[in-house]
Amino acid sequence: MKTEEQYTLSVLTEDRAGLLNNITLIFSRRKINLSSLNVSGTEVPGISRFTIVAECSREKADKVCAQIRKLVDVAGAFVYEDHEIYFQEIALYKIPTSAVLNGQNLENLVRNNGARILCVEAQHTIIEKTGHKEETHALYQLLEPFGLLEFVRSGRVAVSKSLRRTEAYIKELEESSSNALSIKNY
């Protein structure tokens, strides 16, 4: 039996409505659960990047990536293992302001965990932490005793360690007669 690991897919697309549904449908058909999904603009106007984290076999990740590449508005899709990318998530924590004002050494805890106080309101204080999932979860556990009111963590954002430039890739793709370009060239 093939072992499941975590893979990050980076998908470059044109900014078009309906693509999210088309991409996630490919995962649904193969019964692959997404643990993280982020969509954002890139340095190339009109091009978006989907950063998708899924747990599956490498074979499934490659097959999904090949299917995604076949979608009309997809410029490129790549599969990465964690050692091939730089990645982060952002987490926000809402705690009662009374926990901050009661001298409970919260400020040192926040600082010592590489987080920062984003804002202090009369009823609540927002703390921000950027890091890997394990780091943001560790701070979550430390903040629970302070009466954590809310917690949210973003999807993963990632860039590859390769020297590939998105703009150069898109330009070469536009000039080629097929979309068979490979990340190996970048």
Domains of the chain, with CATH numbers? 5-80+157-185 (3.30.70.260), 88-153 (3.30.70.1150)
Tell me the C-alpha distance between 147 and 84, whole Å: 38
In this prediction the pTM is: 0.82
149 with 96: CB under 8 angstroms? yes
Helix axes 19-29, 58-69, angle to 10 degrees: 150
Counting residues of the chain whose pLDDT is more than 90, the rounded percentage is 72
What single-letter amino acid sits at 151?
Answer: F
pLDDT of residue 74: 92
Q: How confident is the model at residue 12 (pLDDT cuts 50, 70, 90)?
A: very high
For residue 183, the model assigns a pLDDT of 41
pLDDT at 182: 43
- Phi, psi (degrees; rounded to nearest 5) at 109: -60, -45
Q: Residue 91 burial (CB < 10 Å; 0-12/13-18/19+)? A: buried
